[in-house]
Amino acid sequence: MAERVGSSAVLTIAGFDPSGGAGVQADFRVFNWMRMYGVGVITAITSQNTNEVKNVYPLHPRQVRSQLEVLFDDVSPLAIKTGMLGTAENVKVVASTIAARKAGLLIVDPVLKSTSGFDVGSAEVAKAIKRHLLPIADMVTPNLYETEALTGIKVETASEAGKAAQALADLGAGAVCITGGHFSAAPTDIAFYNGKLEIFSGTRQGGGEEYHGTGCFFSAALTCLLAKGAEPGDAVSGAKKLVERAISGAIRVGGGFKIPWLNVTLEPDQCRH
């Protein structure tokens, strides 16, 4: 009998991106790079390419719940990450199903706006994330825009990010990492966990160019590291280094934003059965 891989499975609950730069496809790519088995639940179909998002078509909450329940009937993922959920109703369904099944670690990437500026999550979605997902989250990973949407705190400095991180923890999140790729200076992530703040400085890659899917990449890498038993600070540090490496190797698939890429290849003898 073939060996079951459920013990190394991680779950992404997110949207479908035809360009492959974000959403479930990006998450699966990162899971594979990190030698974890990826399973996924689709929350929305998007019409987008590497230039822009044209439309988002959320799935009905019954469709999302059905995917989750049939998956949990068979697979017990070590960790779960949420991305774009599309509607407040989908947020509620995801939160209630995960809580009822007492599933693995939960990492919430509160996706509310695309790199091109398209709103993929309304104010109602942000409210639902605050009320239903953050209280059961082991870690939440908002960018600066998402932090402001969730807390009402405008974040322009590391000090303001620290206050916002504590505010998110007060909403119930076990740990918080505010990703600072959009700071005007060096990209600095601010984490709050175990009652303390920690600052993770980074080096700007690619001359300040925008990239498609960096948030998905970071949260997916973080999910894998936490699933493997890393402490929050070590997971943030490791995920940040992987993102920097992927940005330095970014590829241009179309005519728009570059996509973070790790140049991981198999040698011929590794492909033999």
What are the tens digits of pLDDT across the range 213-230?
999 999 999 999 999 999
- What average pLDDT does range 144-171 have in this prediction? 91
Model-level pTM? 0.91
* pLDDT for res 119: 77
Separation of alpha carbons 256 and 114, rounded Å = 13
Q: Is residue 150 part of a domain?
A: yes
Q: What is the per-residue pLDDT across 183-192, written as a single tens digit (0 to 9) for each? A: 556 778 999 9
Query: What band does 59 get if pLDDT is binned at 50, 70 and 90?
Result: very high
User: Where do runs of H (alpha helix) occur along the chain?
Assistant: 23-33, 61-72, 88-101, 123-128, 144-151, 158-170, 214-227, 232-248
Q: Put the strands of the sheet holding 105-108 in their side by side order.
A: 53-58, 37-48, 9-16, 79-82, 105-108, 139-140, 175-178, 188-193, 196-201
Whole-angstrom distance, CA of residue 110 vs CA of residue 260: 20
Least confident range of 109-123, 159-173, 234-248: 109-123
Establish if 89 belongs to a structural domain: yes
175 in Cβ contact with 191 (< 8 Å): yes
Looking at the chain, the whole-number percentage of residues with pLDDT higher than 90 is 73
| 3 state DSSP class of 24 | helix
Tell whether the model's pLDDT for residue 40 goes beyond 60: yes
CA distances from 253 to 19, 77, 118 (A): 8, 31, 20
Residue 1 inside a domain? The answer is: no
User: What residue has token string 């959009």?
Assistant: 182
CATH of the domain at 77: 3.40.1190.20
| Three-state secondary structure call for residue 60 | coil
Of the ranges 137-151, 207-221, 253-267, the best mean pLDDT one: 137-151
Confidence of residue 181 (pLDDT cuts 50, 70, 90): low
Note whether residue 40 is domain-resident.
yes
Asked if the model's pLDDT at residue 4 lies above 80, the reply is no
Which range, of 107-121, 202-216, 232-246, averages the lowest pLDDT? 202-216
The residues pairing with 267 across neighbouring beta strands, listed in sequence order, are none
Mean pLDDT, the chain, rounded, equals: 89
Across 121-137, average pLDDT: 93
In the chain, the number of structural domains is: 1
**β pairing state of 9-16 and 79-82:** parallel
CA separation for the pair 85, 93 (Å, rounded) = 10
> What integer pLDDT is reported at residue 159 of this predicted model?
87
Q: How confident is the model at residue 1 (pLDDT cuts 50, 70, 90)?
A: very low
Instruction: State whether the Cα torsion 61-67-71-76 is positive or negative.
Output: negative
Over the stretch 89-116, which tens digit does the pLDDT of each residue have?
999 999 999 999 888 899 999 998 777 6
Find the domain containing 104 and state its range: 6-271
Q: Once rounded to an integer, what is the mean pLDDT over residues 138-146?
A: 94
Does residue 224 form part of some domain?
yes
- The more confident residue out of 263 and 223 is 223
